[in-house]
Amino acid sequence: MAIITLLTDFGIADSYVAEIKAVLLAGAPQANLVDISHQIPPGDVQAGQYLLNRSWKRFPDGTIHLAVVDPGVGSERRAIAAQSGGHRFVAPDNGLLSFLPKNARFVALAIPAKASPTFHGRDVFAPAAASLATGASLESLGKTINDPYHAPLPTPSSDGAAVVGEVIYVDRFGTLVSNIPPELVEPGVRIRVAGTEVGPLRRTFGDAARGALVAFTGPGGTVWGLRSGRENSRGAACCAPTL
């Protein structure tokens, strides 16, 4: 029973996601569908890339990932499928899969003549994912390409005295997710967020005075910041406005 994950910016109020799932289950009745998120901000390829990159490796080998954040749907951008190790992906060729390692394989998907120009998620990507789930090989889905659009997330720089990163994601709790790996943060070093002193790197957001901004190594593997408070430490939107 192949797992197919779904990540889109379609939201959950409309029927778009359900129409994709209907096509997946019509083509691959045994597939196990798992939502990653449908709340990517509309057209925000970078946010989609961040969340998919966090998630995909935790699923077992054999998983297929359908990712559709696709502001250019119906334009000349290609539709692609990719394989890396035991994981396969279908997505628009707009940088959404830029986290894949260099040895990943890519093919360009054919666009069926009857596909709606505004809903490739249902008419292009879902049929391709269903084919993969029922035994099709990556190469059977289209012609190999070697130039997928590459737009990786920004990486931190150094000005000699300091490592300078940026906030690449803000989560439901108002947590500011930076792109700084903790191994670049030496013990005792001072951390600043938009000019505000945060103090040294802590173990968790509970390790700070209530209401204080705290930096810690987040479960995504980089340095995160959050306004703390022991009883209800993760007030939504607590931090975003002031930083």
Which 48-67 positions form the footprint of its own copies (CB under 8 A)? 51-52, 54-55, 58-60
| Interaction between residue 179 and its own copies (CB under 8 A) | no
| Positive or negative torsion for Cα 241, 14, 63, 87 | negative
| Interaction between residue 39 and its own copies (CB under 8 A) | yes
* Position 157, amino acid: S
| Interaction between residue 99 and its own copies (CB under 8 A) | no
Helices (H) and strands (E) in the chain, counts: 4, 16
| Interaction between residue 119 and its own copies (CB under 8 A) | yes
| Interaction between residue 205 and its own copies (CB under 8 A) | yes
CA 112 from chain center: how many Å?
Answer: 27
| Interaction between residue 200 and its own copies (CB under 8 A) | no
Closer to its own copies by CB, 134 or 204: give it.
204
What are the tokens at 49?
Answer: 């890339």
Closer to its own copies by CB, 9 or 93: give it.
9
Closer to its own copies by CB, 142 or 229: give it.
229
* Minimum CB distance to its own copies, residue 242 (Å): 18
CA distance readout (Å), 208 to 36, 161, 215, 234, 239? 31, 26, 9, 13, 15
* Position 19, amino acid: E
CA distance readout (Å), 22 to 122, 126, 130? 9, 9, 11
User: Footprint of its own copies on this chain (CB under 8 A)?
Assistant: 1, 3, 5, 9-16, 18-19, 21-23, 25-26, 29, 32-40, 42-44, 51-52, 54-55, 58-60, 71-75, 116-119, 122-123, 171-173, 203-207, 216-219, 224, 229-236
